[in-house]
């Protein structure tokens, strides 16, 4: 079986062996082996391992099937929208976008395939059809491509920031402004392979937010991303002193998380707005809060109401 991958923008100008290693998630030595045995190649032209990948190149890689334990299926994952070209799933917390080293739980891609949903073969091996991702600990809408046409067009729309991605987040503290933009580059933190941070050496990251509700100790905000860096919302709000409720990795107060019954960050991918890849019609897909986030929000509203009642009683006395 072979996988066909249009040259990713971020890898154009890179050595072919480096590009193959990054696309496949393998070592450079393994990538060199695939190139030298003809299992990794550029369609339409001969290319040596040290030659550079060019704009417009299409890479074809032979993938050998390996026997492994069946991946568990996420039965809780629902489909919010589907047609012949795309499928938008409402991803539950605890489901990864795709398989990765060390992950043994369910994935969006694996669950769709095991349910019989046809996915395009375009994309890196094990990541076919995926043009954007959500963290395992983040729930909400995620788009996967079923047709080659959709993969090429939606990949372009996401890379050129034409897709409007709206998240809702409950952040600690009282945001000073009703709306604002955070522009701060994000890169991997030196203290951990899993954490990211605002750093001058990072990649451009832009986050817009609008306040929806205020509770004093927390604020519910609607967030739109211009860029899609790993942990972007979590890192940006932590950097301004307002980490997401339930997110101890980036500084959340564990006592508030416990009071609201949260076991993960309060963050949900609420809406996707894009031009349909085939019809070019503006398409909007929306979600609802999952049970754990809804419960935490209702609890926070009750806590706020109680504090306001006590404040009024105190002022009268």
The domain ranges of the chain are 2-62, 70-155, 161-317
Was domain 161-317 assigned CATH 3.30.2350.10? yes
Pair of tokens at residue 66: 């390996």
pTM of the model: 0.77
Q: Which residue has the tokens 């955070």?
A: 182
Average pLDDT, the chain: 91
Within 13 Å, how many C-alpha atoms sit on residue 298's CB side?
A: 7
Give the architecture-level CATH label for domain 2-62: Roll (3.10)
pLDDT at site 190: 79
Was domain 70-155 assigned CATH 3.40.50.20? no
Helices and strands, number each (H, E), in the chain: 7, 14
Domains 2-62 and 70-155 share a fold: no
Active-site annotation holder among 57, 85, 135, 292:
135
Within 13 Å, how many C-alpha atoms sit on residue 6's CB side?
A: 16
Higher pLDDT, 104 or 67: 104
Q: What confidence tier does 1 reach under pLDDT thresholds 50, 70, 90?
A: low
Kindly report, residue by residue over 283-301, the tens digit of the pLDDT: 999 999 999 999 999 999 9
CA torsion through residues 78, 225, 102, 290, sign: negative
Active site residue 135: yes
Residues 151, 59, 88, CA angle at the centre, nearest 5°?
Answer: 20
Q: What confidence tier does 186 reach under pLDDT thresholds 50, 70, 90?
A: very high
The predicted model gives 205-212 an average pLDDT of 97
Question: What DSSP assignment string belongs to 5-39?
Answer: EEPPGGGTTSBHHHHHHHHHT--HHHHHHHHHTTS
The predicted model gives 42-71 an average pLDDT of 80
Residue 127 predicted with pLDDT over 70: yes
Largest CA distance in the chain: 85
Distance spanning both ends of the chain, measured CA to CA: 77
Kindly report, residue by residue over 244-285, the tens digit of the pLDDT: 999 999 999 999 999 999 999 999 999 999 999 999 999 999
Instruction: Mention every residue, 6+ apart, whose C-beta is less than 8 A from residue 61.
Output: 2, 3, 5, 20, 23, 24, 34, 39, 40, 41, 125
């Amino acid at each position: 079986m072979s996988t066909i991958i249009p040259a990713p923008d971020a890898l154009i100008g890179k050595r072919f062996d480096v590009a193959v290693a990054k696309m496949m998630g393998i070592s450079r030595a393994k990538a060199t082996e695939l190139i030298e045995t003809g299992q990794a190649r550029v369609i339409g032209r001969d290319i040596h391992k040290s030659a550079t990948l060019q704009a417009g190149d299409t890479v074809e890689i032979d993938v050998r099937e390996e026997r492994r334990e069946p991946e568990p299926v996420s039965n809780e994952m629902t489909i919010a929208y589907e047609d012949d070209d795309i499928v938008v799933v409402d991803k539950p917390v605890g489901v990864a976008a795709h398989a990765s080293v060390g992950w043994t739980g369910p994935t969006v891609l694996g669950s769709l395939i095991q349910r019989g949903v046809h996915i395009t073969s375009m994309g890196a091996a094990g990541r076919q059809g995926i043009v954007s991702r959500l963290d395992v600990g983040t729930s909400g809408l995620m788009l996967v491509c079923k047709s080659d046409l959709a993969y090429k067009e939606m990949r372009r729309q996401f890379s050129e920031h034409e897709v409007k991605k709206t998240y809702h987040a409950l952040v600690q503290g009282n945001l000073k402004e009703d709306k604002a933009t955070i522009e701060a580059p994000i890169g991997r933190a030196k203290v951990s392979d899993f954490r990211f941070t605002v750093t001058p050496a990072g990649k451009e990251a832009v986050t817009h937010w609008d306040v929806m509700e205020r509770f004093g100790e927390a604020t519910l905000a609607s967030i739109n991303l211009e860029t899609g860096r790993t942990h972007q919302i979590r890192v940006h709000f932590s950097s301004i002193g307002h980490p997401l409720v339930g997110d101890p990795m980036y500084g959340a107060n564990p006592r508030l998380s416990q009071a609201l019954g949260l076991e993960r960050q309060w963050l949900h991918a609420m809406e996707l707005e894009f031009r349909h890849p085939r019809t070019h019609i503006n398409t909007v897909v929306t979600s609802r809060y999952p049970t754990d986030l809804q419960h935490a929000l209702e609890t926070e509203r009750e806590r706020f109401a109680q504090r306001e009642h006590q404040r009024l009683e105190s002022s009268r006395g």
